[in-house]
């Protein structure tokens, strides 16, 4: 049976998750969420992955959010449980220790944008739209949007976008810091994979500790954040990778990091 989410190794140490429901704008159905969680379990068990890209299938949508057709037959409790499940999928993705990149290759609305916001880095094609549009449907973002967007672009701008349910262009997303890079569609895959390749060439323990220091420190005061950074730095000191990095630098060669 065809899976709604495809996990593949695209290069050494670089994995790619593809939401594969192009006929439904890659929306979050229950089947897609189950397949997505299964992919995350495979990633967590692998010692060969150092960076993960997530994208949508086709050239129209990254992810349009919840599957509203599936939702029509649900009662209130089932809707709440479904939104909770979407939130759990996104939180599980966000909790990956390794760097993650959203390759936003089409529209990203509602839960689709919430998934992108849970990534460490967002690359977006230059001719698409995105937004947290839930208030226009009588609800609010329920899978982390009200918490992640203000932390990324500031409270006032996040309120403007969420209250108005406005769909913004990829160019505006780049201007306000919602996307790190705006790329022509023909080059999106190439540039996303190039960054992933560059990330994956670095020491995996250092990558994990850098991510941990940033994610834990960003929501604290600066002094506490500096203490967290110091603790994470210490985790890299006894590693073989640190010595390999020093030896490679001295010998003028590329390091061969093993995650030890």
Q: What CATH number is given to the structural domain containing 244? A: 1.10.12.10
What average pLDDT is seen over the chain?
A: 93
Instruction: Say if CB 127 and CB 104 are below 8 A apart.
Output: no
pLDDT tier at 255, thresholds 50, 70, 90: confident
Specify whether 144 is located in the same domain as 234.
no
Active site residue 66: yes
Helix/strand/coil for 17: strand
Specify whether 150 is located in the same domain as 31.
yes
Q: Does 200 or 259 have the greater pLDDT score?
A: 200
Q: Which of 61, 65, 134, 209 is catalytic?
A: 134
Sequence-distant (6+) residues with CB within 8 A of 7 are 15, 16, 17, 18, 39, 42, 43
Specify whether 111 is located in the same domain as 190.
yes
Specify whether 117 is located in the same domain as 193.
yes
First to last CA, the chain: 38
Residue 157: HSE in the Cβ half-sphere, 13 Å Cα cutoff: 15
Q: Which of 56, 87, 111, 145 is catalytic?
A: 111
Specify whether 192 is located in the same domain as 210.
no
**Quick check: is 256 in a domain?**
no
Q: Which structural domain, as residue segments, surrounds residue 218?
A: 204-251
Q: Which of 114, 116, 143, 203 is catalytic?
A: 114
Report the DSSP beta bridge partners of residue 103: 55, 123
User: With 80 as the cut, is the pLDDT of residue 223 above it?
Assistant: yes
Q: Does 253 or 162 have the greater pLDDT score?
A: 162
Taking only the tens place, the pLDDT of each residue in 59-82 is: 999 999 888 787 887 888 988 898
Specify whether 150 is located in the same domain as 128.
yes
Active site residue 209: no
- Give the pLDDT confidence score for residue 75 in this predicted structure: 87
- Give the pLDDT confidence score for residue 23 in this predicted structure: 92
User: With 90 as the cut, is the pLDDT of residue 228 above it?
Assistant: yes
**Quick check: is 177 in a domain?**
yes
**Quick check: is 173 in a domain?**
yes
What's the structural domain count of the chain?
A: 2
Active site residue 111: yes
- Residue by residue, DSSP assigns 73-119 as T--HHHHHHHHHHHHHHHHHHHT-SS-EEEEE-SEEETHHHHHHHTS
Specify whether 103 is located in the same domain as 216.
no
Cα 176 from Cα 20, distance rounded (Å): 29
Active site residue 114: yes
Specify whether 213 is located in the same domain as 126.
no
**Quick check: is 258 in a domain?**
no
Specify whether 196 is located in the same domain as 144.
yes
């Amino acid at each position: 049976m065809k899976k709604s989410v495809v996990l593949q190794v695209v290069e050494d140490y670089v994995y790619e998750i593809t939401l594969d429901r192009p006929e439904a704008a890659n929306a979050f159905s229950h089947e897609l969420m189950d397949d997505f969680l299964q992919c995350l379990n495979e990633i967590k068990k692998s010692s060969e992955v150092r960076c993960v890209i997530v994208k949508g299938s086709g050239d129209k949508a990254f992810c349009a959010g919840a599957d509203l057709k599936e939702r029509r037959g649900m009662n209130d409790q089932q809707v709440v449980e479904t939104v909770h499940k979407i939130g759990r999928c996104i939180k599980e993705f966000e909790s990956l220790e390794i760097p993650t990149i959203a390759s936003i290759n089409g529209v990203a609305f509602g839960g689709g944008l919430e998934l992108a916001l849970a990534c460490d880095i967002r690359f977006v094609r230059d001719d698409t739209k995105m937004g947290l549009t839930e208030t226009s449907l009588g609800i609010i973002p329920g899978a982390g949007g009200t918490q992640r967007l203000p932390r990324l672009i500031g409270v006032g701008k996040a309120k403007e976008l969420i209250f108005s349910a406005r769909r913004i262009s990829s160019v505006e997303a780049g201007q306000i810091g919602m996307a790190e890079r705006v790329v022509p569609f023909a080059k999106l895959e190439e540039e996303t994979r190039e960054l992933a390749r560059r990330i994956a060439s670095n020491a995996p323990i250092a990558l994990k500790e850098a991510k941990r220091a940033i994610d834990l420190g960003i929501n604290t005061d600066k002094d506490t954040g500096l203490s967290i950074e110091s603790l994470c730095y210490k985790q890299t000191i006894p590693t073989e990778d640190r010595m390999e990095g020093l030896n490679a630098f001295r010998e003028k060669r590329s390091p061969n990091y093993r995650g030890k």
